[in-house]
Amino acid sequence: MWDDPVAAGNCREIGVQCSRMPSNKPLACTLAFAFTLALIGCSHRAQNSVKSETIPFQRGDRVLVESSAAQFYEARVLGIESAKLRVQELPSGDAALVQVADVYRLPSKGNTLASGSLAICASRSERWFGCRITRSGADGAEVTDVDEMSHPIDWKHVIAPNALTELNLKRLFDKAGEQHEFEHELAHAGSPKNIPGWHPMPGKAVLARVDGEWWRSVISTEKRGKIRIKFAGSDRQIEVGREDVAPEPPYPMEISQKSRFALLRPANPNQPWSPIRLISVDALEAVVEGLGAKRRTVRVRDICPLESAVPTRNPDLPHID
């Protein structure tokens, strides 16, 4: 019932004393108890006043809130509650109770940060985002976001993060960098590898490339270098080139083990096969890594190895196949 252990002890002591009083003195006991409650109330108001005075924000302030790791929004302070801030998100109007440590005061003047620093930046649309400063000048900065897009920013729209936010920003950029590198490699992975002695024949199940994606299909006919295929689970038919069809897995293990990337069979046959990175391959299983997904184990018969034709990002470095 009581948040203050001292107050609770005082009330218990009064209760004991009242119980020992003669029965003809109830008024004195009641007055003593009421007086103690008043003192406790004053003590609590004093404590709340001290807490409020230590918070460097007040009602009406425009602030920036880190709602989750490296995610931000502007807000207006509505009040102080239990050493926290009640804020109203702008422009949505949604209210929230946030920790003071997650709140930044909007800058009134520019603070220059060094190149390479992580910071919180505002775009022209007043959207705040995590950024990395790539050029620092007297007139402003050039920054990049997690999507590797460049933005010119005035110093008045840059906030230096505290230690915890800086750690969140570092994790955000590290994860985004791994994602971009993975996307770059997958985008340049080649076509499915060829199996020596394999030829497309009517009635055979194949993978066919249509609009840049590979689908499980069945060959209907072949005529003058054109192959008519029928999509699995559908009556749809289309003509593709000889170079746009490949054997359906399984592939010989020695071919899969020499590959860096592959296509993975979808759970739904009406969906395209998705590109993955091969971590390891044995006779029955393969450890794979998908775009935005954790490593997992799949059956070897569900992967189609791709040619390794991934250029390195730095042309001065040799490509290792």
d(C-alpha 109, C-alpha 273), whole Å: 52
Lowest mean pLDDT among 11-15, 72-76, 214-218: 11-15
Other CB atoms within a 10 A radius of the CB of residue 84 amount to 17
Residue 193 scores a pLDDT above 60 = yes
d(C-alpha 258, C-alpha 307), whole Å: 9
Tokens at residue 274, please?
A: 């998705």
Q: What's the pLDDT at 224? A: 77
Residue 171 scores a pLDDT above 50 = yes
Mean pLDDT across the stretch 123-146? Answer: 90
Strand partners, 89: 75
Residue 228 scores a pLDDT above 50 = yes
Residue 7 scores a pLDDT above 70 = no
Amino acid at 311: P
Q: What's the pLDDT at 319? A: 39
d(C-alpha 146, C-alpha 173), whole Å: 6
Percentage of residues in the chain with pLDDT exceeding 70?
Answer: 79
d(C-alpha 114, C-alpha 142), whole Å: 11
Amino acid at 30: T
Strand partners, 239: 228
Give the E-state strand segments of the chain in sequence order: 62-68, 71-81, 84-89, 95-98, 103-105, 118-122, 128-136, 141-144, 150-153, 158-159, 205-210, 213-223, 226-231, 237-241, 245-247, 261-264, 274-281, 285-290, 296-299, 303-305
Residue 263 scores a pLDDT above 50 = yes
pLDDT band at 83 (very low <50, low <70, confident <90, very high): confident
Sign of the CA dihedral running 153, 157, 160, 162: negative
Span 61-72, pLDDT tens digits: 999 999 999 999
* Mean model confidence pLDDT for the chain: 82
d(C-alpha 1, C-alpha 3), whole Å: 7
Report pTM: 0.59
